[in-house]
Amino acid sequence: MADPIAAWHTDHTYFSRLLDVLEVQVDVFHAGEQPNYELMLDIIYYLRHFSDQFHHPREDVAFACLAKRSPGMELQLARLIQEHRVIAHFGERLEKNLEQAVAGAFVARADIEAVAATYLVYYRSHIAREEKDVLPRAASVLTPDDWEAVGAAAPAAQDPLFGSAPEERFRELRRQIALEA
């Protein structure tokens, strides 16, 4: 990995932008107005199918390496790994709710709002703790072999939203996060 800490931080920056856009739509929903369900679904789809499949598995390996090199962090790292499961669980629930809403099925507003709020709170808190506590420590103690193991934890993949050749489905989402005019 060329600069794994920079890549890790960049992913977090992108995820935070997506959470910002999602939160705006949840606020629209909370106000009793009609949110852009397709946009919300694109955000969740991306976070579940890119973050959960590529970013979090690499973090899990980095956490395991870090726990070996900084035993005092074991409990904190175990908590972060548990949060990956919670984020994935609520992401799956939110994706299902949004798919139903897009398909025209009735989904209680309170159900969507509660799941979305939980997802946002967990994800934002998770990123903040990693940025504050984990990334600086990982930068100082993980070895090149550790970073090689981190890179091997998930196959290399083209980022379907922020990469050089984004998927067509994400055009509106890219516009919303001001990555293209």
- The domain that holds 82 is classified in CATH as 1.20.120.520
Establish if 181 belongs to a structural domain. no
**Total domains, the chain:** 1
At 166 the pLDDT is 77
Establish if 81 belongs to a structural domain. yes
Distance CA 88, CA 37 (A): 19
Distance CA 115, CA 94 (A): 6
Residues with Cβ within 8 Å of residue 118, at least 6 apart in sequence: 90
Task: Write the burial class of residue 162 (CB in 10 Å: 0-12 exposed, 13-18 middle, 19+ buried).
Answer: buried
Establish if 21 belongs to a structural domain. yes
Within a 10 A sphere around the Cβ of 87, how many other Cβ atoms? 21
At 29 the pLDDT is 87
Instruction: Please give the chain's pLDDT, 181 residues, in tens.
Output: 578 999 999 999 999 999 999 999 999 988 989 999 999 999 999 999 888 788 989 999 999 999 999 999 999 999 999 999 999 999 999 999 999 999 999 999 899 999 999 999 999 999 999 999 999 999 999 999 999 999 999 887 788 888 877 788 888 888 887 654 3
Computed on alpha carbons and rounded to an integer, the radius of gyration of the chain in Å comes to 17
Map tokens 């969507």 to a residue: 112
Establish if 163 belongs to a structural domain. yes
Range of the domain at 83: 4-176
From residue 79, alpha-carbon distances to 75, 76, 82, 129, 169 in Å are 6, 5, 5, 11, 34
